[in-house]
Chains A and B, each alone.
Chain A
Amino acid sequence: MQIAIASGKGGTGKTTIATNLAWSVSSHRPTRLLDCDVEEPNCHIFLNPEIEKTDTVGVPVPLVDTEKCTGCGKCGELCQYSAIVSMKSKPLTFPELCHGCGGCSLVCPADAITEVDREVGVVESGKAGKLKFVRGLLRIGEAMSPPLIRAVKTFIDEDLLTIIDAPPGTSCPVIEAIRGVDYVILVTEPTPFGLNDLILAVETVRQLRIPFGVIVNRAGIGDQEVQAYCEKEKIPILLELPDDRRIAEAYSRGEMAVNAIAGLQDKFNSLYAELAEYLNEY
């Protein structure tokens, strides 16, 4: 079973929910947390995992043998991303734009293009107590995160509960992180900003036809518009986490909220139990 934590708006508490949920459930069910927010992974701050293995992840990019190249231009015509262009000259390549499809090497009639790996980041795996842990770390300056997110997701094991901490927003990296999961938890805050981006996230998840529910974090601030929207759209509110100074203090020290507030771990465990029951029925 795979549950992704996503949000639309950044800073609503995805990591707080992902780490506390995964940590709570791991006490009684084999669980793995995947930090797919590879541009800014931060689950490790709260979990202090022991990293056992680091793997480099690359994207295949074209390398042109200018001796063999006839300058026919077929590679440039094929590439939708302008990662290889052939004008009056031999092809120019822009590896940072390459999505690694390999099409240019296939269409080259002179067999002049081979694929070489360009490193986009690393995947680290290990454990924090009973919780298995994996995170992707994008190379600084790198703009293309989906291939790295796919590499993190190869750690999905059907026998384990997988919790995915997704990046914020609604663009390609988010789609890559939540695609194929059984359930998405959208974390929001009860403010106009939170609501605006929640609506975008809801539209995205509906397009992907993944069942989802909402967690309202920092409940008590802002207004009641998120709750009104969810009621109107018949979206279940799974949990309301109060705006509690103790959670903020624990967070600022890099500590888990479940260790700061008695009874919170039970709430996360019942949330999981409800979702597991719902998904078995689904």
Chain B
Amino acid sequence: MKIAITASGETLDSPVDPRFGRAKYFIVVDSETGDYRTVDNAQNLNAAQGAGIQAAENVVHLGAECVLTGNCGPKAFRAMQAAGVKIIIGVEGSVSGVLEKFKAGEYQTADASNVEGHWL
């Protein structure tokens, strides 16, 4: 399964970026093979508004079926839910550590956003 993890660096040992829409990078990993690619999210990081929705669109286009991040606001949540992407909130530590925990089935899919939307 393809999963997207928000990261503050480009490699698997980077810490998870707690922000979703304004995460520095997305690391998209195939949880079976371990193959991954890093996608720069700089465009959304600096967006005036709609960063969460845009990021949601990006992860959908990247083919991710599940997103793991620290926090997720209501608009991004709604957009990903509509596209059938599972969302796991509240993860922390290194990307590789999160990946291991994910494979071990330690996480639960969120059924609602955990933070408020914010403006500008």
A97 touches B60 (CB 8 A): no
A contact residues around B84 at 8 Å (CB): 88-89
The answer to the question of A81 belonging to the interface, with a C-beta cut-off of 8 Å to chain B, is yes
Minimum CB distance partner of A88 in chain B: B83
The answer to the question of A76 belonging to the interface, with a C-beta cut-off of 8 Å to chain B, is yes
Q: Which of A81, A89, A94, A97 is close to B83, meaning CB atoms less than 8 Å apart?
A: A89
Q: Which of B49, B57, B75 is close to A87, meaning CB atoms less than 8 Å apart?
A: B57
A85 touches B119 (CB 8 A): no
B contact residues around A88 at 8 Å (CB): 60, 83-84
A-B contact count (CB 8 A): 39
B78 touches A92 (CB 8 A): yes
The answer to the question of B97 belonging to the interface, with a C-beta cut-off of 8 Å to chain A, is no
Dominant secondary structure at the A interface = loop
Dominant secondary structure at the B interface = helix
> With A87-B60, A88-B60 as given contacts, are A82 and B53 in contact (CB-CB < 8 Å)?
yes
A81 touches B49 (CB 8 A): yes
Chain B interfacial positions (CB closer than 8 Å to A): 49-50, 53-54, 56-57, 60-61, 75, 78-79, 82-84, 119-120
Assembly CA distance A61 to B53 (angstroms): 17
B82 touches A94 (CB 8 A): no
Assembly CA distance A76 to B57 (angstroms): 10
B contact residues around A94 at 8 Å (CB): 50, 53, 75
Assembly CA distance A97 to B74 (angstroms): 13
The answer to the question of A261 belonging to the interface, with a C-beta cut-off of 8 Å to chain B, is no
A97 touches B82 (CB 8 A): no
Minimum CB distance partner of B44 in chain A: A82
